[in-house]
Chain A
Amino acid sequence: MERQVAKPAPLKHDILQARRGNRRAVKDKLTQLGVSFGGIMVFVALLLIFFYLLYVINPIFASASVTPKASIAVPPSQSQVLLLGSDEQRQQLYRVLNDGSVDFVSAVNQQVHHQALPLPAGATITSAARSMPSQQAFAFGFDNGQVLLANIDFVVTYPNNQRLITPTIRYPLTTPTLQLASVDQAVRQLAFAYSKQQLSFIYADDAQHWHLVRMDGEQNMLTEEVEWQTSQQQLPDTPSKVSQQLLTPDQQQALLLSGNKLFIYHIQQANDVSLQQVVSLERANARVTDVELLAGASSVLVSYSDGVVAQYFQVNGENGRRYQYIRQFSKLGQVDDLASEFYRRSFATVSDSGQLTLLYTTSERQLLSQQLPVENLQAVAFSPRADGLITATTDGLQLFDVSNPHPEVSWSALWQQVWYEGYPEPDYVWQSTSGTDDFEAKFSLTPLAFGTLKAALYAMLFATPIALAGAIYTAYFMSSKVRSVVKPTIEIMEALPTVILGFLAGLWLAPLVESHLPGLLMLLIFEPIGVLLVAYAWSISPPVVKQWLPENYQELMLIPVVCFIGWLCFQLSPAVEMWLFDGDSRLFITQTLGLGFDQRNALVVGIAMGFAVIPTIFSIAEDAIFSVPRHLSNGSLALGATPWQTLTRVVLLTASPGIFSAVMMGLGRAVGETMIVLMATGNTAIMNWSMFEGMRTLAANIAVEMPESAIGSSHYRILFLAAFVLFLFTFVFNTIAEVVRQRLRERYSAL
């Protein structure tokens, strides 16, 4: 806008110049400074919103970091490390060796505390096994047929208001050891899994026969002791040479690795054990070096000798649930050890050269790859909260700080199809919370962005024709007297709280549309036809009738006509429904057309949000058309064009940038609208264009989930990202609209 007042150029004898320091001059200067500061603050506010959103979003794309925290020397040992870990606070580390020794190491005061296991006298250890990391349990098998089952536990006490963590070893069974096989039979290649009520072991005997031992516990009501019922079964069809054996923690499956083949046994019932599937892990020029379960135990991670880790999980197919290759991570070096986190789907690999790589399965993200500053590495493990990494070398334990708060978020996880565990195929899924602990949050913004666009599209489909046609008529054909009433009335609509529109849409319009669907469709057809008929009747009616109403009041005359047609359509609706759709149009849609039908659907949203958008488009488009210079249209009319020709060929063409910007503004509003969508749809994140089904939009999703998300969590930051996406959407639409409008204004002033 042009500056209307130019301050006169300071003269030499200007009274203000002459007396510097004059109070008036100071006041003038101060005002100028204050006002300029205030004006610029508006700009700062917008920048603040923009950068604050970015500031919150930024950490989710940051990579992880691993830094050394402590290193404690332990008595050197040549035995392999069986289990490695720490307590939740990372104060006590522990190491369990294959020779049956347990060391607790305090990361606070560097003390090493060796604890002996009650190994059976005279027996030698023939096998060792560990559970999933979250159970922190291990077992040893002996040559006298016994096993020892133990887990590491930490007792937290608060003497003198100070937290004290004491490590202990607990034995889940009533006794530490258990006779698994006959006395002369060594327990080889042991694997186990246990819960409070159930316990399973598999082992191989000397003849390479595989046995399953299942113990079902039942709590005695009186003594509250658990009594165990044991049953045994031999696994059928086992391979002759097994290099690794695993039991899933839910004790449904036993996995045996033989060469490049993985044998899966179904062991849900101890008396009904069968070979379920043989998975070929074949890979060109590589052999399988290790098989591990991922947290949640639905996925198997297979390490290969050529530095590739592949993920397999069960997918529901024609032959039931079968393991299938899903994705792989490569260039990891010769993978020496692989550690998975307790709860999240992250895992770490360490190569033979000491290269540590942090990976997350579903987001396919490599979060970190760095050289570990340790030598002679034996094993690596995560701390329970995944905020620490523990490594064991032959003569020490090292603790590293791990900062890896948002591994599950990546560009591909947010916007592309992701194959989640348990899903039959890669898909876009938004599911942020669930009841179970093992749940993996699924953050795909695609269905939400889709829903946003779908809602906006239906709203624009409904609003644009009405708003633009209304704007054309109001600006070009309406008498100024009527216009001065009509325009504010329609603009009042913009001020209506959207919560009321949403409420009416959800509780009044949705049931109405559901029960009068044929009526609504008829309305679409008969409304224009009816209006045209009335118009034709008017055009051929004798002048006597025409005098009765001045032509300028057409719109008022049409109101009763439109009302009547609307009323008629809705009255006829049940009869038409009976005639065409057998009395139930909803049933017709779901069964004959095979579409889904929600009561609160895109149609309802389109109508309700359309009403919210109409005044925006109407108001701006009307301004644009109305301010087309009169001499243009007058010239056209003078040359013999009809009013309609003048309108379409001259006025609309000139005003088209303004109309475009009006539609853009409307779109911006429809994209960001929250309450209407929240109340008038079922808010399910589905992806189809059907007008009889709902959607979940970015804005509604934020409104629903934001109050429940924890500060700083991935969920919280992704909701900020959703807000940022909305911000960008509307920023683009509004800026385009505004730039176009400013250009138009310049053009008008030139004309």
Chain B
Amino acid sequence: MGRWFKSGSPWIWLTGSAVSISLIAVLGLLLLIAWRGLSYFWPATIYQWELQDDNGQPYRLIGEIHDREQVPTDRLKAAGHHFPADTGEFVERFLVKTGNRELVSLDFRWILASDILTRSEPKELAVFERSKNGNFYGEPVAVLQAGTKLETASVEQLLQQRIDHAVALNAQADALQKHDIGAINYQLERLRLQARKYQLNDDYTEAHQTEIAAEQQQYQQQYQQLEQQLFAMREQAGRDAVVVKDMRGELVTLSLDTVLNVTYSNRLSTWQKLLTWGQRVGHFVSDEPREANTEGGVFPAIFGTVFMVLLMAVIVTPFGVIAAVYLHEYAKNGWLTRIIRIAVINLAGVPSIVYGVFGLGFFVYMIGGSIDQLFFPEALPSPTFGSPGMLWSALTLAILTLPVVIVSTEEGLSRIPSSIRQGSLALGATQAETLFRIVLPMASPAIMTGLILAVARAAGEVAPLMLVGVVKLAPNLPLDMNFPYVHLERKFMHLGFHIYDVGFQSPNVEAARPLVYATSFLLVTVIVTLNLTAISVRNYLREKYRSLEN
């Protein structure tokens, strides 16, 4: 044993275990997020429990199992629970999601395994996904049309049909509200600013006044027409209702205009569940968020993230490439180059929040404020570019990711054998021609790598964005059908901030947590994929140039 220790072999094993721990940490983390994120969409079994409370009174609970844990019996006894004498040291405890938020005080509740009398999975139970008040669990009994019960052989089929009808109407109404009415509001606001501009320039003549008033009049009329249409649609959508027997045994009428879909989870086969799972994933990435972001989809956040990152890429690429080319191809090996190198390393090391502070002060307040004074005086004091927004976020992140592009591009440049450059120069090409025709095309995959890494970094960065443009709920996307179509001054939603906001600032963290896991999984997938792509491109490049050199 002593000799074994002397050989140093145990220490080698210990260092080996450090690698294992790191690997477990990475893979475990990814698996945890993937499992929790993906299982969120799986149609869970709806259970019906018959329980007894502390006084021996029986009651019924319908819902999904959300979580389970082992609790020491003693701790529960101390809290005032009574147990039969033969209870073990630990009791299993389930967290049940009962939904029906408007009827019960708690839509999540803990139940003890020892209190459960029976547990069943009745096939007639269904879960309603609703646009308000979360899920509803119960047994659909009848479908109502304008208050009268419809006779039918299959409640399920009729219900599905009526829900589809209402959902389609609601979608139409939403589109009308968002696009048509939104456009009119946008135009009215534009007219108001126009009038204000005339006033500021002392040019608000009679002609201008009548012109603007006429336009306003016209938009108002359109608005009223659309509003009538909208009300008609909403009313139509609210025509039908469904009667559901809930866990208290009472009949509850749910108006179908708030119901999004119904799932008889206990009747589904595995394949059908998989199908439902796929549908839910689809809804998650394409829908708008509901209920203060704790339900629904994350489409605006995906859109905001992608748009911001692309804008940033457009800004950062030229600067990063030029800087790298300068450092590698043009700079002499003097003090200036050394300082610039240290500057690059430091830019990479500066905490991201410092970029946020700088972006807020310099871009938003200083540059944005000046732009407002110069070009948008009519909107003041409400800021246009002088408040956090998309453009400033992209610019801030562009500085943040600049070192990534520089380092990666420079690495690519250094891998190009000098013989190739010398060959080009020997044939009479200028340095610029060598650069544009030979060096840059050869380095383009490396530039690409740098860009991908920069995008991955930017997509995951949240702290600076909290200061320069991200909000928890942006009413409008930065891209729409109103001139000038791209609105870079608008605030936007971001996947990373969505995680922070929903996970830590939402009123009902328990209900929102699975959604946060799902969002996290989405973000991690995107970022890991981007990184793996970058790594494989880089490895491929290394191999390629190694063969060139020899």
The reply to whether chain A is a binding partner of chain B is yes
Chain A residues at the B interface, C-beta cutoff of 8 Å: 1-5, 7-8, 15-16, 24-25, 27-28, 30-32, 34-36, 38-43, 45-46, 48-49, 52-53, 56, 465-470, 472-474, 477-478, 486, 488-490, 492-493, 495-504, 506-508, 515, 527-528, 531-532, 534-536, 538-539, 554-556, 558-559, 561-563, 566, 574, 578, 583-584, 611, 614, 618, 642-645, 647-648, 665, 668-669, 671-675, 678-679, 699, 702-703, 706-707, 711, 719-720, 723, 726-727, 730-731, 733-735, 737-739
- Residues on A with C-beta less than 8 A from B1 are 536
Residue pair B421, A668 in contact (C-beta under 8 Å): no
Residue pair B353, A674 in contact (C-beta under 8 Å): yes
Q: A32-B432, A508-B32, A738-B342 are in contact. List 6 more A-B contacts (CB 8 A).
A: A42-B402, A497-B496, A500-B520, A502-B500, A503-B503, A706-B357
Closest to B362 in A: A52
Chain B, 62-119, CB within 8 A of any chain A CB: 69-70, 72, 74-75, 89-90
User: Could you tell me the distance in whole angstroms from the C-beta of A519 to the nearest C-beta in chain B?
Assistant: 13
A28 CA to B431 CA in the complex, in Å? 6
- Residues on B with C-beta less than 8 A from A739 are 342
- Residues on A with C-beta less than 8 A from B343 are 42-43, 45-46
> Per a CB cutoff under 8 Å, which of A2, A32, A490, A566 touches B431?
A32
- Given A497-B459, A734-B349, also A703-B467 (CB < 8 A): yes
A74 CA to B467 CA in the complex, in Å? 53
> Per a CB cutoff under 8 Å, which of B27, B435, B463 touches A674?
B463
Closest to A701 in B: B353
Residue pair A499, B19 in contact (C-beta under 8 Å): no
Residue pair A38, B4 in contact (C-beta under 8 Å): no
User: Could you tell me the distance in whole angstroms from the C-beta of B421 to the nearest C-beta in chain A?
Assistant: 4
A473 CA to B347 CA in the complex, in Å? 31
On chain B, which size bracket covers the interface?
35 or more
User: Could you tell me the distance in whole angstroms from the C-beta of B382 to the nearest C-beta in chain A?
Assistant: 15
Residue pair B9, A465 in contact (C-beta under 8 Å): no
Residue pair B10, A39 in contact (C-beta under 8 Å): no
User: Could you tell me the distance in whole angstroms from the C-beta of A184 to the nearest C-beta in chain B?
Assistant: 62
Q: Is B213 an interface residue (CB 8 A)?
A: no
A730 CA to B20 CA in the complex, in Å? 30
Q: Is B313 an interface residue (CB 8 A)?
A: no
Q: Is B29 an interface residue (CB 8 A)?
A: yes
Residue pair A536, B353 in contact (C-beta under 8 Å): no
> Per a CB cutoff under 8 Å, which of A528, A539, A675 touches B14?
A528
A528 CA to B13 CA in the complex, in Å? 9
- Residues on A with C-beta less than 8 A from B418 are 4-5
Residue pair B23, A583 in contact (C-beta under 8 Å): no
> Per a CB cutoff under 8 Å, which of B29, B350, B500 touches A49?
B350
Q: Is B328 an interface residue (CB 8 A)?
A: yes
- Residues on A with C-beta less than 8 A from B355 are 49
Residue pair A503, B361 in contact (C-beta under 8 Å): no
Identify which of B127-135, B372-380, B526-534 touches chain A: B526-534
- Residues on A with C-beta less than 8 A from B339 are 43
- Residues on A with C-beta less than 8 A from B358 are 49, 52-53, 723
A558 CA to B501 CA in the complex, in Å? 39
Across chains A and B, which 5 residue pairs bring their CB atoms closest together, nearest first?
A: A672-B351, A644-B8, A39-B326, A497-B460, A38-B322
- Residues on B with C-beta less than 8 A from A735 are 342, 345-346
User: Could you tell me the distance in whole angstroms from the C-beta of B402 to the nearest C-beta in chain A?
Assistant: 7
Residue pair B353, A490 in contact (C-beta under 8 Å): no
Residue pair B463, A574 in contact (C-beta under 8 Å): no
Q: Is B476 an interface residue (CB 8 A)?
A: no
Residue pair B353, A496 in contact (C-beta under 8 Å): no
Q: Is B352 an interface residue (CB 8 A)?
A: yes
Residue pair A42, B323 in contact (C-beta under 8 Å): yes
A46 CA to B432 CA in the complex, in Å? 27
> Per a CB cutoff under 8 Å, which of B319, B322, B362, B461 touches A497?
B461
User: Could you tell me the distance in whole angstroms from the C-beta of B133 to the nearest C-beta in chain A?
Assistant: 24
- Residues on A with C-beta less than 8 A from B430 are 16, 24-25, 27-28
Residue pair B456, A495 in contact (C-beta under 8 Å): yes
Q: Number of residue pairs across A and B with beta carbons under 8 Å?
A: 360
Residue pair B353, A672 in contact (C-beta under 8 Å): yes
- Residues on A with C-beta less than 8 A from B7 are 642, 644
- Residues on A with C-beta less than 8 A from B144 are none
- Given A27-B430, A500-B33, A707-B466, also A614-B329 (CB < 8 A): no
- Residues on B with C-beta less than 8 A from A737 are 345
- Residues on B with C-beta less than 8 A from A474 are 19
Contact string against A for B residues 391-422, beta-carbon threshold 8 Å, 1 for contact and 0 otherwise: 00000000100100010001000100010011
Q: Is B25 an interface residue (CB 8 A)?
A: yes
User: Could you tell me the distance in whole angstroms from the C-beta of A400 to the nearest C-beta in chain B?
Assistant: 30
User: Could you tell me the distance in whole angstroms from the C-beta of A60 to the nearest C-beta in chain B?
Assistant: 14
Q: Is B340 an interface residue (CB 8 A)?
A: yes
Residue pair B332, A672 in contact (C-beta under 8 Å): no
A160 CA to B35 CA in the complex, in Å? 69
Q: Is B311 an interface residue (CB 8 A)?
A: no
User: Could you tell me the distance in whole angstroms from the C-beta of A125 to the nearest C-beta in chain B?
Assistant: 49
A468 CA to B16 CA in the complex, in Å? 11
Residue pair B340, A723 in contact (C-beta under 8 Å): no
Residue pair A496, B29 in contact (C-beta under 8 Å): yes
Residue pair A500, B349 in contact (C-beta under 8 Å): no
User: Could you tell me the distance in whole angstroms from the C-beta of B539 to the nearest C-beta in chain A?
Assistant: 8
Residue pair A473, B19 in contact (C-beta under 8 Å): yes
A497 CA to B527 CA in the complex, in Å? 8
Q: Is B260 an interface residue (CB 8 A)?
A: no
- Given A28-B431, A720-B361, also A731-B350 (CB < 8 A): yes
Contact string against A for B residues 316-341, beta-carbon threshold 8 Å, 1 for contact and 0 otherwise: 00110011011111111100100111
- Given A672-B352, A723-B354, also A562-B24 (CB < 8 A): yes
Residue pair B516, A46 in contact (C-beta under 8 Å): no
Residue pair A40, B340 in contact (C-beta under 8 Å): yes
Residue pair A56, B361 in contact (C-beta under 8 Å): yes
Q: Is B312 an interface residue (CB 8 A)?
A: no
- Residues on A with C-beta less than 8 A from B484 are none
Residue pair B414, A4 in contact (C-beta under 8 Å): yes
Residue pair B15, A472 in contact (C-beta under 8 Å): yes
Residue pair B16, A726 in contact (C-beta under 8 Å): no
> Per a CB cutoff under 8 Å, which of B17, B29, B349, B352 touches A668?
B349
- Given A5-B329, A496-B524, A559-B24, also A723-B457 (CB < 8 A): no
Q: Is B275 an interface residue (CB 8 A)?
A: no
Q: Is B535 an interface residue (CB 8 A)?
A: yes
User: Could you tell me the distance in whole angstroms from the C-beta of A498 to the nearest C-beta in chain B?
Assistant: 7
Residue pair A554, B16 in contact (C-beta under 8 Å): yes
Q: Is B462 an interface residue (CB 8 A)?
A: yes
- Given A5-B418, A558-B16, A699-B463, also A490-B26 (CB < 8 A): yes
A566 CA to B16 CA in the complex, in Å? 16
User: Could you tell me the distance in whole angstroms from the C-beta of B18 to the nearest C-beta in chain A?
Assistant: 3
Chain B, 1-48, CB within 8 A of any chain A CB: 1, 4, 7-27, 29, 32-33
Residue pair B17, A702 in contact (C-beta under 8 Å): no
